[in-house]
Amino acid sequence: MAGRLSGGAARVRRTVTRATILPLLVRCGIAVAFFGALTVAWPVSIVTSRYAGVVVLAALWPAVAPRGRSVTLVAIAVVGGWIADTTWYDSRVALWRVIVIATLLYLGHTLAALAAVLPTDAVVNPAVLTGWLTRAGLVVLGSAVLTVVVLSLTAGLAGGAFLLATLVGMAAAVTATVLIARLLRRP
């Protein structure tokens, strides 16, 4: 047990001493993105209470272990907090919050995808990072425009959910998911 602990400590020390700046920045970006998303999504009363430490820990987890399930779980936690805040804490669905949460969630997700394949001690060509962030920026920009358009269109319908619309929406959701999954099998 002691041997395993000391081996782990030596591995951590080696990782830290060999780490280079750009992979470290990527991991910092993941932590900042998820911290921002959690702070904006969760109710203010929780974020400012003594549970703030939990928020920080939850944001750091995907940055430390981007290869595991941490990113998925933290993203679900962000949306769970958002649903809780807008359902039980009676917060308004503000446009800026939706845009900020969507943007930060996607940035955290895509930076975690980069960190999962980028070793911490790598010598990174800056073109890798700029290319990756440019693609993420375009995606975020497109979805932000979509958000503005859709939220302004549905402003009058907020809260009015009809059975037919629900069924059509459900079918659309399933179709979209299956389509993305099938994109892989395309020749």
d(CA 14, CA 113): 23
120-129 CB contacts, 8 Å cutoff, 24+ apart: 120/15, 120/18, 120/19, 120/20, 120/23, 120/24, 120/27, 121/15, 121/18, 121/19, 121/20, 121/23, 122/20, 122/22, 122/23, 123/20, 124/20, 124/22, 124/23, 126/22, 129/22, 129/25, 129/26
| CA atoms of 38 and 164, how far apart (whole Å) | 33
Binding status of residue 28 toward another protein by CB under 8 A: no
Q: Is 84 in the site for another protein (CB under 8 A)?
A: no
Tell me how far, at minimum, the Cβ of 165 lies from another protein, in Å.
8
How many chain residues bind another protein (CB under 8 A)? Answer: 65
CB nearer another protein, residue 28 or residue 83: 83
Please pick, from the candidates 54, 65, 86, 91, the single residue that binds another protein as defined by CB under 8 A. Answer: 86
24 binds another protein, rule: CB under 8 A = no
According to the binding rule CB under 8 A, does residue 32 interact with another protein?
no
Chain residues in the site for another protein (CB under 8 A): 18, 20, 22, 67, 71-72, 75-76, 79, 82-83, 86, 93, 98, 101-103, 105-106, 109-110, 112-114, 116-119, 121-125, 127-128, 131-132, 135-136, 138-140, 142-143, 146-147, 150-151, 154, 158-159, 161, 166, 169-170, 172-174, 176-177, 180-181, 183-184, 186
